[in-house]
């Protein structure tokens, strides 16, 4: 990746992070972090990433990243970066990219697509090769506790009842901090995690021992199925991916039609004489 592209991508990321937590202290509840007069709240973090499934360690890392970026940004402003010609050039380019991205988003919002389950099933059947796996995927259910003894009690209960029966009682447990059912996890998404290390050892239908994912975060996982590279998962497991792919194809068609209309409505020219 070229240096200029790296700088622009870094700028856009810093811009998004700064926007998420650039406000003064407001009535948003307890703040997660503060750098001078700027505060980061739970709602700010949610605007950047889906925090529902984050482990405490990853969550802490995101908060620390926000603090680091705020410190760096404040230092840059104090150092006069806003008057730097290169900064102004990148800022202008980034403004154009942001304007284009937002305008395209508005184009899609003005013409939403109605999608039926029948449409998705037909798309899945006619584009199955698009959903062929290029890595191992695991169909997992898991429950995480903030108390180790509660995790032990839950895990021991599975010796007497099925996973499905045990998971029904988990919602009533005050120590449960996260619960997922029949979630397809791609190996790259959980690569390097303790969850993957343990799930790899399981056969379909087996339940893991307690996995200490982080401080006060204890997970028990159940492997329902395992899908190998080149296999195509059943429709019901990837319906959200099918919908995303289907909508992207429709949006691409809409974008191409819109671009054709711009070509016809405007004068433009490519000067071939200027080519070397």
Per-residue pLDDT reduced to its tens digit, 215-254: 889 999 999 999 999 999 999 999 999 999 999 999 999 9
Contacts of 75 (CB under 8 A, 6+ apart): none
Please check whether residues 170 and 121 belong to one and the same domain. Answer: no
Tell me if 272 is assigned to some domain.
Answer: no
- Reported confidence tier of residue 21, pLDDT bands at 50, 70, 90: low
- Asked if 124 contacts 131 with a C-beta cutoff of 8 angstroms, the reply is yes
- Asked if 170 contacts 143 with a C-beta cutoff of 8 angstroms, the reply is yes
Please check whether residues 123 and 243 belong to one and the same domain. Answer: yes
Residue 113 φ then ψ, to 5°: -100, 135
pLDDT digits (tens, 9 = 90+) for 62-97: 889 999 999 999 999 999 999 999 999 999 999 999
- Reported confidence tier of residue 9, pLDDT bands at 50, 70, 90: very low
pLDDT digits (tens, 9 = 90+) for 110-122: 988 889 999 999 9
Tell me if 150 is assigned to some domain.
Answer: yes
Residue 249 is part of which domain span?
Answer: 117-128+234-265
Report the chain's mean pLDDT, rounded to a whole number: 87
- Residue linked to tokens 């199925």: 225
Please check whether residues 10 and 79 belong to one and the same domain. Answer: yes
Contacts of 123 (CB under 8 A, 6+ apart): 242, 245, 246
Please check whether residues 58 and 79 belong to one and the same domain. Answer: yes
Count of the separate structural domains present in the chain: 3
Please check whether residues 238 and 154 belong to one and the same domain. Answer: no
- Residue linked to tokens 């405007």: 266
Tell me if 112 is assigned to some domain.
Answer: no
Given this model, what pLDDT does residue 211 score? 94
Q: What CATH number corresponds to the domain at position 168?
A: 3.10.50.40
pLDDT digits (tens, 9 = 90+) for 152-180: 999 999 988 999 999 988 888 899 999 99
Tell me if 110 is assigned to some domain.
Answer: no
Please check whether residues 81 and 207 belong to one and the same domain. Answer: no
Using DSSP, state whether 241 is helix, strand or coil: helix
Please check whether residues 241 and 121 belong to one and the same domain. Answer: yes
């Amino acid at each position: 990746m070229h240096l200029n592209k790296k700088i622009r991508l870094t700028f856009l990321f810093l811009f998004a992070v700064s926007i998420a937590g650039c406000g003064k202290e407001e009535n948003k509840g307890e703040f997660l972090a503060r750098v001078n007069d700027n505060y980061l709240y739970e709602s700010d973090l949610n605007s950047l990433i889906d925090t529902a499934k984050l482990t405490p360690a990853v969550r802490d890392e995101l908060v620390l990243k926000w603090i680091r970026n705020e410190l760096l940004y404040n230092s840059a402003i104090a150092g006069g970066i806003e008057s730097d010609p290169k900064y102004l050039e990148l800022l202008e380019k980034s403004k154009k990219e942001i304007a284009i991205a937002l305008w395209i988003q508005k184009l899609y919002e003005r013409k939403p697509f109605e999608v039926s389950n029948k449409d998705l099933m037909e798309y899945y059947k006619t584009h199955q090769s698009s959903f062929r796996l290029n890595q191992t995927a695991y169909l997992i259910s898991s429950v995480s506790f903030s108390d180790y003894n509660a995790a032990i009690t839950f895990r021991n209960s599975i010796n007497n009842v099925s996973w499905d029966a045990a998971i029904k009682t988990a919602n009533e447990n005050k120590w449960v901090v996260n619960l997922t059912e029949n979630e397809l996890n791609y190996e790259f998404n959980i690569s390097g995690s303790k969850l993957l290390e343990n799930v790899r050892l399981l056969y379909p239908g087996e339940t893991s021992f307690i996995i200490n994912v982080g401080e006060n975060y204890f997970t028990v996982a159940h492997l329902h199925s395992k899908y190998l590279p080149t296999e195509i998962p059943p429709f019901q497991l990837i319906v959200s991916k099918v919908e995303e792919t289907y909508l992207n194809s429709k949006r691409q068609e809409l974008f191409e039609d819109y671009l054709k209309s711009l070509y016809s409505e405007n004068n433009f020219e490519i000067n071939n004489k200027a080519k070397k």
